[in-house]
Structure 1
Amino acid sequence: MPEGHTLHRLAGVHGELFAGHEVEVSSPQGRFAGSASALSGAVFEKAEAHGKHLFHFYGDDRVVHVHLGLYGTFTEAELPVLEPRGQVRMRVVGPTHWTDLRGPTSCELLTAEEADAVRGKLGPDPLRADADPERAWQRISRSRSSVAALLMDQKILAGVGNVYRAEVLFRHGIEPMTPGRSLGRERWELIWSDLVELMADGVRVGRIDTVRDEHLPEVTGRAPRQDRHGGEVYVYRRAGMPCLVCGTEIRTGDLVGRKLYWCPTCQAG
């Protein structure tokens, strides 16, 4: 599932391509046809992201809410438009570019009030200027659940996925099963500020890089990471490989239906 930086990056792209212009909206697949017809010809006002959710704002109190889920993707291209390929849920055509949405978990037309209600169920997003990390801390500091599980709960913290979760815990030497109420405010504030910086970098470059300069391949002489997710990381999807810092074998396990990765030495607690 795409992590929050991907949605913020999409919001920036869509805002640049379509904001302030009348757009044509259609649903080649048909599942969004009624809403698309109501929107076509309207002015695309802006795009915003909150966590793993994307919002397209139109006039007259209309907002398209998209949650990509596991399989959703947007593809953008310059005009002219091409015949739809695959199951295109929503197509948006602007003055110079067009984008197709395929396979989302959600693609729905909402009022502004309904969109606010969706956002109201989400925790603070480290990539939003209006985020209040204290809201997340109040939930975490009272919880017996592991910090690894809490960081992935979108009602507590929006936008953090499996990669950022594993990497930020490693970067701060935190044992993943540490109860939230045992974390401590100082470590929480370090986690939050690190997520703000790491995720903003993800928006800029379009991939997740979490390895500090002194551990990069060009410094240590190791081979660059070869993985379809791209980016240099410490523990994510490195089970059985040596830790880049101490050499201990990286471990993996299951937690709340997702893979967890950690170094038992660097994150000994």
Structure 2
Amino acid sequence: MPEGHTLHRLARAHQKSFAGQELEVSSPQGRFVEGAEWVTGHVLLRADAWGKHLLHRYDNGAIVHVHLGLYGKFTDQPVPMKDPVGQVRMRLVGRDKGTDLRGPTRCEIFDESDVDALVARLGPDPLRRESDPDKAFHRIHKSSVAIGALLMEQDVVAGIGNVYRAELLFRHGVDPFLPGRKLDVERWSEMWVDLVDLMKLGVRRGRIVTLRPEHDSAASRGPGRPRSYVYKRTGLPCRICGTPIRTQDMKGRNLFWCPTCQAD
């Protein structure tokens, strides 16, 4: 599933390509016909994101809410666009560019009250300036659930997925099985600052980058070698201590960690 940096990058791209234009919006697949009728012919005012949620705001007050889920994807092409291929949930056509949305978990019309309800049930988003890390810490500190599981809950931190979860915990030497209530506020503050920087870098680069320069050697860039500390490196030696990286299921997702470097 795309992590939060991907949605913020999409929002920036859609803002650049479509904001200020009257868009032709359709649903070739037929599952978003009524929603498309609400916004077609209207001006897209702004595209933004909160966590893993993309929001397109139009001049008539309608907001298109998209959650990509596991399989959702936008595919761009120049205008005039070719005939739709496959199950296109939503097609946007602007002056010079168009984009097709396929396979999202959600594509629906929201109003401001719906957005407020969405934001209320999400945790702070590291990529939004107004986000308060204390809100996340409050939820973490009162829980006995493992921090590795808590970081995957979108009502704790919005936008974190499996990669950022694994890499952030490693970078700060945190045992993923540590109960949330045992994580101190100083360490959480350091983790939050680091997470903000990592996700901003992900937006700029268009991919997740977690290796510090001193650990990103030419050998780490070979074919089939994950450029990460622990994510998808099961059985490979830890880049810091040489201990084999371990993995196990944690609430339905593969957890990766170094049992030596993450003993605290």
Q: Verify: 1:204 aligned to 2:204, yes or no.
A: yes
Report how far residue 114 of structure 1 moved: 1.1
Aligned with residue 233 of structure 2, among 226, 235, 238: 238
Residues 142-199 of structure 1: CA distance to partner in whole angstroms, max 9, x if unpaired? 1101111111100111000000000000000011000111010011001100100000
Q: Secondary structure at the match of 1:21?
A: coil
Instruction: Give every structure 1 segment of 4 or more consecutive aligned residues whose post-TM-superposition deviation is greater than 2 Å.
Output: none
Q: Unaligned regions of 5+ residues in structure 2, if any?
A: none
> TM-score of the superposition, structure 1-length normalised?
0.96
Aligned twin of 2:74: 74
Aligned twin of 2:116: 116
Report how far residue 116 of structure 1 moved: 1.8
Report how far residue 53 of structure 1 moved: 0.4
Q: Unaligned regions of 5+ residues in structure 1, if any?
A: none
Report how far residue 223 of structure 1 moved: 4.0
Q: How do 1:54-93 and structure 2 match up within 5 A?
A: 54-93=54-93
Residues 211-267 of structure 1: CA distance to partner in whole angstroms, max 9, x if unpaired? 11111123xxx241545xx97210000001111111110000000110000001111
Residues 12-70 of structure 1: CA distance to partner in whole angstroms, max 9, x if unpaired? 00000000111000000000011102211000111010000000000222100000001
Q: How do 1:1-269 and structure 2 match up within 5 A?
A: 1-218=1-218, 222-224=219-221, 226=223, 232-269=227-264
User: Structure 1 231/12 Cα, relative in aligned 2: closer, same or farther at 3 Å?
Assistant: farther
Give, in whole Å, the separation in 2 of the partners of 1:223 and 1:147.
28
Is the contact made by 1:211 and 1:232 (CA closer than 8 Å) also made in structure 2? yes
Q: Secondary structure at the match of 2:170?
A: helix
Residues 88-129 of structure 1: CA distance to partner in whole angstroms, max 9, x if unpaired? 000001111101100000000111211221121110000001
Over aligned residue pairs, what C-alpha RMSD do you find? 1.2
State the aligned residue count. Answer: 264
Is the contact made by 1:207 and 1:231 (CA closer than 8 Å) also made in structure 2? no
Is the contact made by 2:42 and 2:60 (CA closer than 8 Å) also made in structure 1? no
User: Structure 1 267/184 Cα, relative in aligned 2: closer, same or farther at 3 Å?
Assistant: same
Is the contact made by 1:43 and 1:59 (CA closer than 8 Å) also made in structure 2? yes
Is the contact made by 2:226 and 2:233 (CA closer than 8 Å) also made in structure 1? no
Letter in 2 for 1:255: M
Give, in whole Å, the separation in 1 of the partners of 2:180 and 2:25.
45
Is the contact made by 2:19 and 2:46 (CA closer than 8 Å) also made in structure 1? yes
Is the contact made by 1:246 and 1:266 (CA closer than 8 Å) also made in structure 2? yes
Identity among equivalent pairs (%)? 56
User: Structure 1 231/130 Cα, relative in aligned 2: closer, same or farther at 3 Å?
Assistant: farther
Letter in 1 for 2:252: G
Give, in whole Å, the separation in 1 of the partners of 2:129 and 2:166.
24
User: Structure 1 137/90 Cα, relative in aligned 2: closer, same or farther at 3 Å?
Assistant: same
